[in-house]
Structure 1
């Protein structure tokens, strides 16, 4: 993902989940950060071992201009920044909890944050935006994403092959079937593919579709209210 800011340091992280400083984070590689975050949540016991309670969510739109608030890379007091796309993890509601939670390594909000407060503070649906800035959410079941996602980081090179942001030191992520790059499939958004209504069929589809389901910002909380 890219924005107007490109000089943040990267950090390699290891320790107890819920402490953001313990997760691996490379600025502008949110898709890889969320991939590793899901794996760590699974191995640490915070999530199910297979990640069945986790969902990777890509936020973008056709114009690749999505405003999000409370982002660490912002230079503004309110933390707003215009990303081309962003990727987060949402964990379905657990027994005894009032809301699903959002794991966003680039957010300055509590880590993790309840989905309800994340939506109100980061998405701000009540804030009137021009249609070009409306956010859409590609929700992908984490076990499918962890098997299928691949990136050789080509999207982070300029026309002559130079890095636009320093890549992670670890090897690029390759899908189980040997695919080396399919990030574009996740971050490309067409409003014609967004679901019209949230129902049982849509919820069932997220457990079987490689690219998950595409919902609007007004449907995100409704969708997760149906996930059990």
Structure 2
């Protein structure tokens, strides 16, 4: 399961802790978006695992640990910030997502940071860039409540479902 998260403010940045790219002791950094993978374990008694290549936490980390240490829901954000999470089933995401890395260049076309060593990601249908569709989030698009229809939408919708911070762990209790 891939999730993307983003804030609703024009600045489009949210704090995440325990990130390798941080230069601070607490590992906090502001991301404009961030992608992780959450693995549902076959044994339902075992915790879901978060695979975050940018995290300095143990790899992988239990979902509850990741949420409390990296997302820190107890941390009071300014009222204009809201954290939303896009939950997309991994096979759908891998077939549909595309990024030609244009977001990594300045207006003159120069790299802001060196690009990853692997090729740009092209969707199965040939789309070369749709990152903005995954990043576009609004409080109006957040599901009202988590239920069985939510799970169905995760498995069927190209862009998955959008949940609030308080719904994040709840939705994974339904995912089988």
Q: TM-score per shorter chain, which class?
A: over 0.9
Match for residue 76 of structure 2? 128
RMSD, matched Cα = 1.2
Match for residue 27 of structure 2? 79
Q: Does the alignment pair 1:98 with 2:59?
A: no
Match for residue 61 of structure 1? 7
Superposed counterparts of 1:33-182, under 5 Å? 55-63=1-9, 64-95=12-43, 97-182=45-130
| Partners of 1:70 and 1:166 in 2: CA distance | 22
Measure how far apart 1:173 and its partner are: 1.2
Measure how far apart 1:171 and its partner are: 2.2
Measure how far apart 1:97 and its partner are: 4.2
Q: Secondary structure at the match of 2:38?
A: strand
1:50-105 Cα offsets, whole Å, 9 max, x none, are xxxxx111011122111111111111111111111111010113306431110001
| Partners of 2:116 and 2:76 in 1: CA distance | 36
Question: Structure 2, unaligned stretches of length 5 or more?
Answer: none
Q: Does the alignment pair 1:221 with 2:175?
A: no
Measure how far apart 1:130 and its partner are: 1.4
Aligned residues: 174
Quickly say closer, same or farther: Cα 1:203–1:96, change in 2 above 3 A: closer
Q: Secondary structure at the match of 1:67?
A: strand
Measure how far apart 1:149 and its partner are: 0.9
Measure how far apart 1:198 and its partner are: 0.3
After TM superposition, which residue ranges in structure 1, 4 or more long, deviate above 3 angstroms?
Answer: none
Measure how far apart 1:168 and its partner are: 2.3
Q: Secondary structure at the match of 1:219?
A: helix
Superposed counterparts of 1:23-34, under 5 Å? none
Q: Is the 8 A contact 2:13 2:30 kept in 1?
A: yes
Match for residue 183 of structure 1? 131
Q: Is the 8 A contact 1:61 1:188 kept in 2?
A: no
Question: Structure 1, unaligned stretches of length 5 or more?
Answer: 1-54
| Partners of 2:152 and 2:138 in 1: CA distance | 21
| Partners of 1:106 and 1:128 in 2: CA distance | 23
Measure how far apart 1:159 and its partner are: 0.6
| TM-score, length of structure 2 as denominator length | 0.95
